[in-house]
A and B are shown apart, each in its own frame.
Chain A
Amino acid sequence: MTALISGTALHHAYGPTPALRGVDIEIGAGEVVAVTGPSGCGKSTLLHCLAGILKVDAGEVRYRDQDIALWSEAARSRLRRTDFGMLFQFGQLVPELTAGENVALPLLLGGAPRKQARATAASWLERFGVAELADKLPGTLSGGQQQRVAVARAMVTEPQVLFADEPTGALDALAGERVLTAIVGVARERGMAVVLVTHDSQIAAYADREVALRDGVVDASGLGLRMSA
């Protein structure tokens, strides 16, 4: 497998607190990988380093064979806009914009014409079963509805890699299942890679394989080495 995105010997510390102490990870195009491990083991830090939001102290982050850890902040943020999608536990929608405007936003920021952005946004809302919410403000939606809007927003630019940090953490089991099924469905259909951070085995089971972290390193005792069937 040639990796689409990989981290090699990644180190990151917050001041004196080491969070990553030499993590190696590879994700192929279209692969869904769960990053698991106990609270505080470095999952979110790893996700932010791979996505270029955090700078690594040492190690390489390669995306399409380029060491993006060396890039400027501006270049990394451009890459995030064009190639990456981000999804967090709580939707983080812009409260003043309607659901439809929220989803269209990444396209507008990328320079798409207004009409086209709206149409594309509508089709993604439809895909995640929330088409009828397009004109509502986030504050008037349930947590599960907001999260589905946020998923649509993360997908609207058709990213090569979706980074999702506990995307269903705030949802009940059924709502979470719908969101995950939709994400994995889109990943399979379009060959989008997904990095799915979770501490929940049931959620990790949606992935092709699992990388377990412990204390800032990959935990090789069973889980981390296991490949999909």
Chain B
Amino acid sequence: MSTSHVLLGLLAHGPRHGYDLKRAHDDRLPQAKPLAFGQVYATLGRLERDGLVEQSGQEREGGPDRTSYALTDTGRERLDEWLAAVEPPAPYVTSTLFAKVVVGLLAAGVEAASGYLVAQRAAHSTRLRELTAIKTDAQATVGDVIAADYAITHLDADLRWMQTTLQRVSELNREVNP
């Protein structure tokens, strides 16, 4: 995911400083990996160098850096381009799950590959249940629900794939280890 574009988007309603941006990111994209401060400042630095944001003020409260940044016109253009651009749907099948099954068959055999799938399936189901609990919690915000839904739907797709692949492991093995 493109952190720089997300930061540009979070600046669309007006200038903000780094700490504010980090908080807005973590609030608006719940269940995403929280942004590290270092990453926020490094990204802002790059965006400033490229003329997509500019410093718009400085507030001093004791010590921490309170430089606030504003979106430039070029920054707004870049953001709009990104928002409108359709992402290529799954151009490459790159998944650790998929690679482990194939490499597992090559390197360790049918039992290891099946064992991995069974264990992975259990881990996926556990996570699915955690996310379902998060989204059905009475305190959940709509943001929490759609974040959980996104992950739930993808885990479910993985689970279906693992289920069918478990039934195809022997067949795949004949192809991989002729």
A contacts, CB < 8 Å to B? 181, 184-185, 201-202, 204-207, 210, 221-223, 226, 228-229
Closest to B131 in A: A205
Chain B residues with CB under 8 A of A202: 128, 132, 152-153, 156
**Whole-angstrom CA separation of A107 from B159 in the bound complex:** 42
Tell me which of B122, B131, B132, B136 contacts A223 (CB under 8 A): B122
Flag if A201 contacts B122 (CB, 8 Å).
no
Flag if B118 contacts A201 (CB, 8 Å).
no
Closest to B166 in A: A221
Closest to A228 in B: B129
Interface of chain B residues 138 through 156 with chain A (CB within 8 A): 152-153, 155-156
Closest to A181 in B: B136
Most buried by A among B118, B128, B132: B132
Chain B residues with CB under 8 A of A226: 122, 125-126
Flag if A205 contacts B118 (CB, 8 Å).
no
A222-B152 contact in complex given A202-B128, A229-B130, C-beta closer than 8 Å:
no
Closest to A229 in B: B126
Tell me which of A181, A205, A222 contacts B129 (CB under 8 A): A205
Flag if B132 contacts A205 (CB, 8 Å).
yes
Q: Is B121 positioned at the interface, with any CB of A under 8 Å from its CB?
A: yes
Flag if A221 contacts B118 (CB, 8 Å).
yes
Report 30 cross-chain contacts, Cβ distance below 8 Å, ordered by A residue: A181-B136, A184-B136, A201-B128, A201-B155, A201-B156, A201-B159, A201-B160, A202-B128, A202-B132, A202-B156, A204-B125, A205-B125, A205-B128, A205-B129, A205-B131, A205-B132, A205-B152, A206-B132, A207-B129, A210-B125, A222-B118, A222-B121, A222-B122, A223-B121, A223-B122, A226-B125, A226-B126, A228-B129, A229-B129, A229-B130
Closest to B121 in A: A222
Q: Is B36 positioned at the interface, with any CB of A under 8 Å from its CB?
A: no
**Whole-angstrom CA separation of A204 from B130 in the bound complex:** 12
Chain B residues with CB under 8 A of A207: 129
B contacts, CB < 8 Å to A? 118-119, 121-122, 125-126, 128-132, 136, 152-153, 155-156, 159-160
Chain A residues with CB under 8 A of B153: 202
**Whole-angstrom CA separation of A123 from B109 in the bound complex:** 59
Most buried by B among A185, A204, A221: A221
Kindly provide the distance from the CB of A89 to the nearest chain B CB, expressed in whole angstroms.
20
Kindly provide the distance from the CB of A122 to the nearest chain B CB, expressed in whole angstroms.
23
**Whole-angstrom CA separation of A202 from B125 in the bound complex:** 9
Kindly provide the distance from the CB of B81 to the nearest chain A CB, expressed in whole angstroms.
32
**Whole-angstrom CA separation of A210 from B118 in the bound complex:** 14
**Whole-angstrom CA separation of A226 from B122 in the bound complex:** 7
Closest to A38 in B: B163
**Whole-angstrom CA separation of A202 from B155 in the bound complex:** 9
Chain A residues with CB under 8 A of B119: 222
- Lowest 8 A-B CB distances belong to which pairs? A205-B132, A222-B118, A205-B128, A222-B122, A205-B129, A201-B159, A202-B156, A181-B136
Most buried by A among B126, B131, B155: B126
Most buried by A among B125, B126, B128, B152: B125
Chain A residues with CB under 8 A of B126: 226, 229
Known: A201-B128, A207-B129, A222-B119. 17 other contacts (CB 8 A): A181-B136, A184-B136, A201-B155, A201-B159, A201-B160, A202-B156, A205-B128, A205-B129, A205-B132, A210-B125, A221-B118, A222-B122, A223-B122, A223-B125, A226-B125, A226-B126, A229-B129
